[in-house]
Amino acid sequence: MKNFEQSVEKAVADGVVLGAVVCAKGKVNYSKVFGNRTLKPQAEQMERDTVFVLASMTKLMTSIAVLQLVERGAVKLDDDVAPLLPVLAKQPILTGFGEDSTPITKERTGPITLRHLLTHSVGGTYEFANGDVLQWRKIQGLLGKPAVTVEEAFGHPLLYEPGESWCYGTGSDWAGKVVEALSGLSLEDYMKEHIWSPLGIKDITFWPAARPDMANRMCSMSIRDTRSGKAVQSRKPIEMAPGAQEAFGGQGAYATMGDYTEILNSLMVDDERLLKKATTAAMFRPQLTGDSRQALNEAMAHPEWAVGYYPPGTYNWGLGGLLVEGKTESWRKPGTLLWGGAINSAWFIDRVTGVCGAFGCNLLPSADPQIELLMKGFEEDIYGKAAADRPKTRL
């Protein structure tokens, strides 16, 4: 680990990052803290129990919640769940804009399924990721207005018929609403009862302000200063969903990297504390075909928008994250599941190699190239250690 640790320590010393926490489990059990979690009003060191913004790392937990309900027979992956999502269900397909900027739409004809929601093939995306959605929200007078519910934030038209293409987006947030509708619980209470408690973890929540013990351990948000290039602590809090009145299943949770890694490890070792073996296996199988798979690989051919390390290769989407489908130029084995969060944190699970891990860092803007080099170094060293510990074959 020395080269990786030296790289992060140098990054802290050079002001590239204020601090970070990394954890790995499986064939390599490792955790390390670097730098500071906050600098003002006074410097406080990063700790193993520092709490980070998960952002899109939340999506994996929402996928687990959905799949648990599928296991219990409450719903099927390919059921039409539109009746449970009235705001999304009534949204048409946005096909363009007229000369007077009037949106041109057509009626959606196909179903909306949980498989569509979990694999980003439902047609709903974020305004920052698509100019047409941005323009539609601008025309509606919605830009700059805090959205306190999933419906307010993402109740805009779809970009294509569900299942006919792929765009990274809001499906997990809507899937969280399905979990609430079917379980009768808030997403926080559902995850606490069915995901966090079974693993004995307590430092994950959608509402850190209601947990003083966690709020006091939050990692400060930092931003990359455009002039100096250094990471500086933000002068004011930056929230993923400011003013939110309900849990956003695609981006709203906070956690320590240690507790989050326990979730990764449960899926990797297949201990059935969260999901049955057959369900976990399905998470790690390709879900996209045809135009959807092609659209994903076109997006990943230029992965600068995505947080993490994504070398050239063939990708798909599982029921929880990006899936390495074919050989890439990296050490990851086909079947590896991984993804990141907008605040420059990331996770991976490689069940073939037997390693999983999480990299925690609160810094904007997203997909910071310097942080992604550290993420790459973290994975590289974990895999190197796993290979070094492999039993030698005797002739």
121, 157 in Cβ contact below 8 A?
no
Listed residue (358, 320, 239, 245) closest to 59, CA to CA: 320
Out of 30, 126, 160, 168, which one is annotated catalytic? 168
Out of 7, 56, 121, 366, which one is annotated catalytic? 56
59 part of the active site:
yes
260 part of the active site:
no
21, 12 in Cβ contact below 8 A?
no
266 part of the active site:
no
Looking at residue 196, the DSSP 8-state letter turns out to be I
| φ, ψ for residue 314, nearest 5 deg | -105, 125
| Helix (H) or strand (E) segment spanning residue 111 | none
For residue 365, cis peptide bond before it (omega within 30 degrees of 0): yes
65, 194 in Cβ contact below 8 A?
yes
| Helix (H) or strand (E) segment spanning residue 58 | helix 58-71
Pairing of strands 103-106, 322-324: unpaired
Out of 27, 59, 177, 376, which one is annotated catalytic? 59
Instruction: Give dist(CA 20, CA 102) in Å, integer.
Output: 46
Listed residue (195, 191, 222) closest to 206, CA to CA: 191
Instruction: Give dist(CA 24, CA 360) in Å, integer.
Output: 12
Q: Report, in angstroms and rounded to the nearest whole number, the Rg of the chain calculated over CA atoms.
A: 21
Residues 6 or more apart whose Cβ sits within 8 Å of residue 310 = 300, 303, 322
CA angle 265, 22, 306 (to 5 degrees): 85
Q: Which residues are catalytic?
A: 56, 59, 168
